[in-house]
Amino acid sequence: MSRPVPPGDRPTADPVALFIERAEQVGISVITVGTHDEAIERAVALGRERRVQRAALWDTPEMAPIRDRLRAEGVEILDPRGTFETFAQAEIGITGAEWGVAETGSLVLSAGPGKPQAASLLAPLHLAVLRSDRIVPGLATLLERCGPLPSALVLITGPSRSADIGLVPVLGAHGPTAVTVLLVAG
Amino acid sequence: MPDHPTRIDLIRNTEQALRDASLQRQMGKAMPASRRARADAVAELPEWESLRSTAAEIKDHVLANLEGYLRQLESQVSALGGTVHWASDAAEARAIITDLARSRGVRRIVKSKSMTTEEIFLNPALEAAGAGVVETDLGEYVVQLAGERPSHLIAPVVHKPTEEIADLFVRKLGVPRYERPEELARVAREVLRAEFLAAEMGITGVNFAIAESGTLVIVENEGNARLTTARPRIHVAVMGVEKVLPQLADLSVFLRILARSGTGQRSSVYVSLLTGPRRAGETDGPEELHLVILDNGRRRLLADPDLRAALRCIRCGACQNECPVYQHAGGHAYGSVYAGPIGAVLTPAYEGLERARDLPFASTLCRACADVCPVKIDLPGMLVELRARSVRTGLASWRDRMLVGAWTFFTRSPARFMLAGSLGRLAQRLVARGGKIERLPYPLSGWTAHRAAPVLASTPFRAWWKSRQGEGR
């Protein structure tokens, strides 16, 4: 069967700059940091600013230092193997992001052991740590590289929103009201 | 009882809609805003036209090789541990899903927005089987509380003003009267969050299904589809046969055109690519995944060369936003789940031309729908074809056939046309007042029911032209 071939991505001079621009346009706050250590500091500072008492985090090696620092600050860390009910108590959900898509300003998260979807979905604030060398120019490149597919690969392009009532955009319809990215230069 | 018993009374429905001041106000606000958002988003992509062509080609390729791709999808989903069910019509689909709910002792179900499940009247069947069903898309939730049906593909409650929703929440939820959209959304979020936590089954539609990987793709803005698929123990996804795409790579085209056409976004907020049920070591996602693949008239449509391309539709809603008839009539006037230009094609195709014979006439054939359709469906051409069919099969009214017969007779030769003019000029003396005709007798009364007709000029154009030939130019 001969198939029509979908076009590739338009070339982008600076995918990172485009990602930042477009992510901010859809309401994602982007904080650029130089190193992973700096990302840890910013994450802890953010938790402090927001007076976070309960946090849900992915159970991955890169999240471990953030988890330990938050715990030292007296923040309750919810069981990463916990149920939805557990995660629903979090005021912040902290995750990694496998990819960023410059074309759309999207974060791409894959599910897996220790990486529950609930962490990016239930808390009012979602904080994601993304390495800038993981930013691809567009959807075609992402789909070329993202396999083999996990049980859930989710593109997140802004806070949860709805304009169903009165045509007025409302944030936090079901998911987070705010999404922040710690973009680590790489 | 059949699902679609009686003829859709488009004229009466539309007259009602036109008298509904709040509906007219809502549509007058919503439709221009949606059109502007789409136009801006599309203008950003210089390759828009080639994306549309590629999307149409991919869809046509799928439709030409449909059974092969469906079998590939089935084997991939099965290999991942999911179960595929084939439903030839709405009744079979309902039976499959209610049996699943019953056999697994399901009492509570959450649903995310799905036109396909609207099409098969799923909710009443589940309620009858003893399972409570809650719609979790904010707009669909309002529609469900009001006991109505959605009126737009992606903005189901576009017909309802905020004040009515405020009253509805007071009446149905026993909450104080909140008037601001963000307060109403917060109330719904709280009620629905509890439903998500309690539900044993989640039911969703499917925007695209990838044959090569068995991946189900769901596109949304609120996050309710993510909750519906991540939390309950059982996920039931319902898709029409036409939703399958060959490869993951094809998605880049469709994701680009869908959100831009529907809401003017570069991407919807959440695009979930779900590949099989929960895997070892994971703490969310469904333990059981069921994919219901629905025919319900689609293969019959596929066999219809004039209308087949309607199966390319990705349900973006752009044709509705653009249609001057839909903008005033609203979605409910079309009397079925699919409204607007695409509904005027799909409803006759799925529910029968006899029942839906008036729908193909709900168009001025201005082609605005065809211009915006991201998969290049020739909607006006299909509407004309359906009109011709209703004449050929004797569904057109005696009056319409008589009028068209007279028109055909008088336009067949210049002499007859001039004769018609002379007769008209004689006859209009009886009905013209002050250069206008306010009311014509049967069978022409419909023409002047809502507007005055201008009178025929006293001198025909041909005579006027001839008289000018001698003048200097």
In contact, B356 and B8? CB cutoff 8 Å:
yes
The verdict on a CB contact (< 8 Å) between B181 and A113 is no
A79 part of contact set with chain B, CB < 8 Å: no
Q: Is the pLDDT of residue B449 over 90?
A: no
Look at chain B and count its residues.
Answer: 473
Q: How far apart are CA A137 and CA A126, in angstroms?
A: 23
In contact, B336 and B351? CB cutoff 8 Å:
yes
- Ramachandran quadrant class, A57 (left: phi over 0; alpha: psi -120 to 50; beta: rest): beta
Using a CB-CB distance cutoff of 8 angstroms, which residues of chain A are in contact with residue B223? 121, 160, 173-176
The CATH homologous superfamily for domain B61-296 is: NagB/RpiA/CoA transferase-like (3.40.50.10420)
- Could you tell me which of B239, B294, B241 has the C-alpha nearest to residue B93? B294
What mean pLDDT do residues A153-178 have?
Answer: 94
Domain boundaries along the sequence of chain A: 15-184
Helices within A26-161 (DSSP H only): 36-49, 64-72, 84-87, 139-145
A24 part of contact set with chain B, CB < 8 Å: no
Euclidean distance between the first and the last CA atom of chain A, given in angstroms as a whole number: 42
Q: Is the pLDDT of residue B202 over 60?
A: yes
Residue % of chain B over a pLDDT of 70: 98
Q: How confident is the model at residue B1, as a pLDDT? A: 45
| C-alpha to C-alpha distances, B196 to A22, A84, B134, B189, nearest whole angstrom | 32, 9, 9, 10
* Cβ count near B420 (within 10 Å): 16
Side chain identity at B46, as an amino acid letter?
Answer: P
Mean pLDDT, rounded, of chain B: 94
Lowest-confidence region among A45-49, B160-164, B465-469: B465-469
Q: Is the pLDDT of residue A24 over 70?
A: yes
pTM above 0.90, yes or no: yes
CATH architecture label of B1-44+307-396: Orthogonal Bundle (1.10)
Structure tokens at B209: 């299904």
What mean pLDDT do residues B102-119 have?
Answer: 96
The verdict on a CB contact (< 8 Å) between B256 and A147 is no
Span B234-256, pLDDT tens digits? 999 999 999 999 999 999 999 99
How far is the alpha carbon of B237 from chain A, nearest alpha carbon, in Å?
14
Span A83-101, pLDDT tens digits? 889 999 999 999 999 999 9
In contact, A139 and B253? CB cutoff 8 Å:
no
| C-alpha to C-alpha distances, B319 to A173, B47, B369, nearest whole angstrom | 26, 20, 4
Q: Is the pLDDT of residue A164 over 50?
A: yes
Span B324-382, pLDDT tens digits? 999 999 999 999 999 999 999 999 999 999 999 999 999 999 999 999 999 999 999 99
Domain boundaries along the sequence of chain B: 1-44+307-396, 61-296, 398-466
The verdict on a CB contact (< 8 Å) between B282 and A172 is no
Q: How far apart are CA A129 and CA A96, in angstroms?
A: 5
Q: How far apart are CA A87 and CA B103, in angstroms?
A: 30
pLDDT band, very low/low/confident/very high, at B472 (cuts 50, 70, 90): low
Question: Nearest CB to A143: which of B224, B249, B268?
Answer: B249
pLDDT band, very low/low/confident/very high, at B450 (cuts 50, 70, 90): confident
CB proximity list for B19: less than 8 A, separation 6 or greater: none
In contact, B101 and B131? CB cutoff 8 Å:
yes
Q: Which of residues 318-377 of B touch A (CB under 8 A)?
A: none
Q: How confident is the model at residue B155, as a pLDDT? A: 87
Peptide bond into A176 cis (omega under 30): no
Q: How confident is the model at residue B2, as a pLDDT? A: 59
Q: How far apart are CA A162 and CA A149, in angstroms?
A: 28
How far is the alpha carbon of B246 from chain A, nearest alpha carbon, in Å?
9
Structure tokens at B240: 């029409």
- Strand order of the β-sheet with B244-245 is A135-136, A99-101, A106-110, A152-156, B270-275, B215-220, B208-210, B244-245
CATH architecture label of A15-184: 3-Layer(aba) Sandwich (3.40)
What mean pLDDT do residues B127-132 have?
Answer: 95
Span A113-122, pLDDT tens digits? 999 999 999 9
ipTM confidence: 0.98
Q: How confident is the model at residue B444, as a pLDDT? A: 85
| C-alpha to C-alpha distances, B247 to A148, B98, B426, nearest whole angstrom | 13, 32, 68
In contact, B115 and B205? CB cutoff 8 Å:
yes
Q: Which of residues 92-151 of B touch A (CB under 8 A)?
A: 136-139, 142
Lowest-confidence region among A50-64, B92-106, B377-391, B452-466: B452-466
| C-alpha to C-alpha distances, B458 to B219, B424, B433, B441, B465, nearest whole angstrom | 61, 10, 14, 21, 14
Residue % of chain B over a pLDDT of 90: 84
Using a CB-CB distance cutoff of 8 angstroms, which residues of chain A are in contact with residue B61? 1, 3-4
Using a CB-CB distance cutoff of 8 angstroms, which residues of chain B are in contact with residue A99? none
